[in-house]
Amino acid sequence: MASARLLLPVRSTGSPWSCMPSHKGINSKPLTATFSRTISTSPSPLASVSTTSSTKSETFVPLTPFGQQTVHATIHHFPSLEPLHLEEYPANHLNLPTRRDILHRAVIFEGDASRRGTASTKWRDEVRGSSRKVRPQKGTGAARLGDRRSPMLKGGGVAFGPKPRDFSTELQKKVYDLAFRTALSYRFRRGELIIVDNALELESPSSELLKAIFNAHGWWGKSSGSSLLITVKDRPLLEMTLAQTPLKGQALLWDEVDVKDLLGQGRVVIEKGALQMLLLKHQDDLPKQPRSPASTLNRVTEELPEVLGWSEFSRLEVAALEEEPEEQLRLKSRLYHAVADKRQTQAATKPEPEATRLHLSSLEAREEAYKAQAEAITEHFDLKRQSSEKEKLAGLKDANGPEYLQLLRESSFLDALAMHHQTKKMSYEAKAAFTRGDALDLRGDGASAYSWREYAEVLKAEADDLRTEIENTLTGADMSSATDEELKKFKSLLAYTQRKKTGYALSQENASGEGEQVSV
């Protein structure tokens, strides 16, 4: 239905419709009057303009370009995460807006580059076999079939199977750098980018220590997610500990991190030097312009302070890949003793509670050293010799011949040597138990410390009983026809056993806990 307004007659002086009569009672106002408005040349009082001259406000602050803006980041100390100071970073490094499209392109690019593309199959023309037709085309009642290389038969080729190919795609370097800094900015704005000024390293490879640190900051648990720790160089103790709890965190070098790593964890804990290296690497999309002298990226990266003993444990990690297991245990005991000595010396120069913490750490390292020494004492070679001597003795018919007496002396000496190894192992275990008691006493757990010291006393008593048995075995052997070499071995082992039994050899042990060696 047409509008009532449009049905009104239109009247105009120049229009042929003006001669038509108008209806009564209907307003004959022309249509143009509806849209017209009065134009007056007189000034309106509401439109008056102030005569105040427009001058620049003295409080006006010009807008700083985004490339010159900075943000302040808090620098922490690991593992307490105590805030130390504020550091300035460019806004186009840590305060970029979140671009989901850019992040998506970067993650897809990384995923494509990580695909191996090594799947390979043989097609029909690559399978070995005869090209003779398996059965006639007609007359058998079965389906048509070609040669033995047909994809329908077992052992035949694969129809359109995969071949090795490259799945990697291309992405501009500037786009990827923008995505990398966008991921860092996303973490920074959410408070999930924690920058530390020291090395992300633990005092010992202990999962309990890592759990205590993570619990103190609310990082432990399913709801908190895992942690990504980015370091400047290898941190072997941290990597060993995280390998025991892979669901709680991951440690990566700065040049191994990608965009997906930054987005896939609950938080990012990064060394300040590693952050500087990452920002310097991923800034190709920024204009090449000199930065302010106060810029963080122009400062020289200083060597991060490291935990006492890091170099020793680094050597141990390298030896784990190259040395035999027995040699690894010997090296481990020496390095742990060296670390314990360093921390004990450092504790004497530190105030409380730092001194107590270092002293406790030295006791824990000493305990691990004693355990490694006890584990390194192996007697498998001596036991094999012992069993072979027993078999030879059983095969001899003449019980009074010189060969029989020589084998009997050798068997007695091997029995005594096996007991000697056992006493050394028990002695190291007793020292480890004593050290554990001292550490528990320092922690304030006197009851547990007393139990461990009691256990150490029991081990010492058992070792003394074995030494008495060694003396009886050595002194009871028939040495009438023994050679000078046999006499020397017997006397050396007997003298060492007697000194250990009376306690004189304790003062002869060196700082590494290794006692006098018996010549065998």
**What are 375's two structure tokens?**
């584990």
pLDDT at res. 183: 96
Mean pLDDT, rounded, for 18-39: 45
Instruction: Return the SS3 of 364.
Output: helix
Instruction: Return the SS3 of 495.
Output: helix
Cis peptide leading into residue 246 (ω within 30°): no
Q: What is the 3-state secondary structure (H, E, C) of 39-78?
A: CCCCCCHHHCCCCCCCCCCCCCCCCCCHHHCEEEEEEEEC
Residue 194 φ/ψ, nearest 5 degrees: -110, 115
Question: Which whole-number Å values give the CA distances from 488 to 326, 483, 520, in the listed order?
Answer: 28, 9, 9
Answer with the residue of higher pLDDT: 196 or 30: 196
pLDDT at res. 391: 55
Mean pLDDT, rounded, for 336-344: 83
Instruction: Return the SS3 of 339.
Output: helix
How many helical (H) and strand (E) elements, i.e. helices and strands, does the chain have? Answer: 15, 6
**What are 238's two structure tokens?**
């941290």
DSSP state of 365: H
Spell out the alpha helix ranges (H) of 282-353.
310-322, 325-347
Could you give the CA distance from residue 315 to residue 234 in angstroms, rounded to a whole number?
12
- Work out the mean pLDDT of the chain and round it to a whole number: 75
Could you give the CA distance from residue 421 to residue 415 in angstroms, rounded to a whole number?
10
pLDDT at res. 190: 93
Answer with the residue of higher pLDDT: 85 or 358: 85
The domain limits of the chain are: 68-96+170-298, 308-376, 383-520
DSSP state of 300: P
Q: What is the 3-state secondary structure (H, E, C) of 502-514?
A: HCHHHHHCCCCCC
Could you give the CA distance from residue 260 to residue 270 in angstroms, rounded to a whole number?
16
Q: What is the pLDDT of residues 247-298, one digit of tens each?
A: 788 899 999 999 999 999 889 999 999 999 999 999 988 887 655 544 555 5
Q: 367: closest CA among 357, 375, 379? A: 375
Looking at domain 68-96+170-298, which CATH architecture does it have? 3-Layer(aba) Sandwich (3.40)
pLDDT at res. 234: 85
